[in-house]
């Protein structure tokens, strides 16, 4: 009789890791050991918490394992870490076990139940944080740090006890609306609790979407949903946490984003931030080919523009020109960086004229046989677009000219604005299909940027909506680097 059982979905994951991740024929129980290590690296929760059930991949039983395989019990000393694992579980849950007078060293049933919890949770986290295109060895380096007790604050998850009651309320609400739903899983992100559900009757999906509009009134907080790609009838419901429970992506996430960019074939790769699933959101400015970044004061616009510049500088052939109406103070960190020039508002028209001349020169050279491949990328970044063009139609005309014509000669435009208005953006919008909206004051401003509502509901703490060339809108959370972290990133680029 087996000691540990896994589900069909878990077995499929194990086979996928062995084939696509490790590319070898390790015994399958090694993946269970990795799962245990993953759970040990995460925040602990009480053993009687409902949380454990939500961190389990569903399905019927399929795999069977013995302790001799999973923990090496009964093998020679150097291979038997069964007692060590019991001791680690004891240290993790000492207070709870002692309060219930439970002995993990003698109670085999108790030990196996804890072991299964750790295996199921670890496999669940592996399923949701690793994909076939990722390097599995790098995943192990990033995810298998060991903490006895609780991990450091930067790797902790929000306690699900803070979110207790969400799913029962959601289930009851839709049941009262004659829509039956089934909970697939629950998870925590930076600022959201995520309930993945299935609408059991496909004919009820339109009714589900309509009734979702008033779900926020029941929950007492912001909520939205997205259909799960590739899973019929399944939806992710994103419930915004109280601000006191928010987490923010950090330097480690920024470095992860840069590492992801290096694996892609992007010419002008940009890492915008992390999505709700804690995955990097990236794009190639070359394909954009121009970008609008807009958001109200303190929304994170300038922080995002600086991060974009850091990403673009990874390409050594890029030349960047910045027009900073704040007398060059907003982007002062970049003045000493090779391949970057910073200009003030007074110099903006002359700068735009030089770009127009460069653009025309490139097209002329290409017509005479010079390949664009021999030319470097040139990027013009213009911040505070409204202030710069409000009483300067000449400057607006020059930028419109550039937006219309320079995409074909390895020249690109990035515009920043606090309050985009229809009048200023009218001549530009058709030629700037890539847009990022941070928090804005009004729904009309969201429509100007994205052609849809949504940005007016953002928190103003670095969260953003991205829309590229008519594709589905994405949400991401930007990363605010400290001045010291920014200088460290720049040090190797000067």
Strands 411-417 and 192-199: unpaired
Angle made by CA atoms 406, 407, 409, in degrees to the nearest 5 = 70
Binding residues for ATP: 295-302
Instruction: Tell whether omega for the bond before 289 is within 30 degrees of 0, i.e. cis.
Output: yes
Question: How many angstroms separate the CA atoms of 195 and 183, rounded?
Answer: 7
Question: How many angstroms separate the CA atoms of 106 and 377, rounded?
Answer: 68
Helix/strand/coil (H, E, C) string of 365-398? HHHCCCCHHHCCEEEEEECCHHHHHCCCHHHHHH
Q: How many CB atoms lie within 10 A of CB 88?
A: 16
For residue 44, how far is the Cα from the chain centroid? 23
User: Residue 111 burial (CB < 10 Å; 0-12/13-18/19+)?
Assistant: buried
Binding residues: 295-302
Residue 309 dihedral angles phi and psi, to the nearest 5°: -60, -45
Find where tokens 């009838």 sit: 233
Question: How many angstroms separate the CA atoms of 381 and 416, rounded?
Answer: 8
Find where tokens 């919890």 sit: 117
């Amino acid at each position: 009789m087996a000691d540990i059982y896994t589900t069909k979905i878990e077995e499929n994951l194990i086979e996928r890791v062995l084939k696509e991740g490790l590319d070898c024929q390790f015994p399958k129980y090694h993946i269970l050991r990795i799962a245990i290590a993953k759970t040990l690296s995460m925040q602990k929760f009480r053993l009687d918490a409902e949380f454990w059930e939500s961190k389990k991949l569903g399905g019927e039983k399929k795999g069977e394992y013995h302790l001799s395989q999973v923990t090496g019990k009964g093998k020679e000393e150097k291979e038997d870490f069964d007692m060590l694992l019991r001791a680690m579980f004891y240290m993790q849950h000492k207070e709870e076990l002692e309060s219930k007078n439970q002995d993990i060293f003698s109670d085999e049933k108790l030990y196996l139940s804890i072991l299964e919890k750790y295996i199921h949770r670890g496999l669940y986290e592996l399923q949701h944080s690793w994909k076939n295109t990722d390097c599995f060895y790098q995943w192990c380096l990033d995810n298998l740090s060991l903490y006895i007790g609780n991990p450091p604050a930067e790797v902790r998850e929000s306690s699900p006890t803070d979110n207790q009651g969400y799913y029962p309320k959601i289930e009851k609400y839709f049941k009262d609306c004659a829509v039956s739903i089934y909970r697939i899983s629950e998870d925590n992100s930076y600022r959201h609790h995520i309930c993945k559900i299935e609408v059991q009757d496909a004919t009820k999906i339109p009714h589900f979407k309509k009734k979702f509009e008033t779900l926020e009134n029941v929950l007492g907080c912001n909520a939205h949903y997205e259909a799960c790609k590739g899973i019929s009838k399944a939806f992710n419901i994103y419930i915004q946490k109280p601000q006191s429970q928010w987490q923010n992506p950090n330097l480690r996430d920024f470095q992860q984003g840069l590492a992801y960019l290096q694996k892609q074939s992007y010419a002008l790769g940009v890492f915008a931030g992390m999505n709700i699933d804690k995955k990097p959101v990236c794009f190639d400015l070359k394909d954009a080919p121009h970008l609008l970044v807009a958001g109200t004061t303190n929304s994170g616009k300038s922080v995002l523009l600086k991060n974009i510049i850091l990403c673009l500088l990874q390409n050594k052939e890029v030349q960047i020109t910045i027009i900073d109406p704040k007398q060059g103070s907003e982007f002062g960190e970049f003045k000493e960086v090779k391949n970057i020039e910073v200009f003030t508002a007074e110099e903006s028209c002359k700068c735009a004229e030089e770009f127009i001349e460069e653009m025309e020169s490139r097209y002329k050279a290409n017509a005479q046989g010079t390949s664009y491949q021999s030319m470097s990328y040139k990027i013009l970044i213009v911040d505070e677009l409204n202030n710069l063009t409000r009483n300067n139609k000449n400057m607006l005309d020059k930028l419109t000219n550039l937006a219309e014509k320079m995409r074909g000669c390895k020249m690109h435009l990035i515009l920043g604005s606090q309050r985009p208005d229809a009048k200023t953006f009218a001549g530009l919008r058709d030629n700037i299909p890539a847009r990022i909206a941070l928090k804005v004051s009004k729904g009309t401003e969201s429509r100007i940027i994205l052609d849809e509502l949504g940005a007016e509901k953002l928190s103003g703490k670095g969260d953003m909506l991205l829309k590229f060339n008519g594709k589905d809108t994405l949400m991401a959370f930007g990363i605010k680097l400290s001045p010291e972290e920014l200088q460290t990133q720049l040090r190797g680029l000067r």
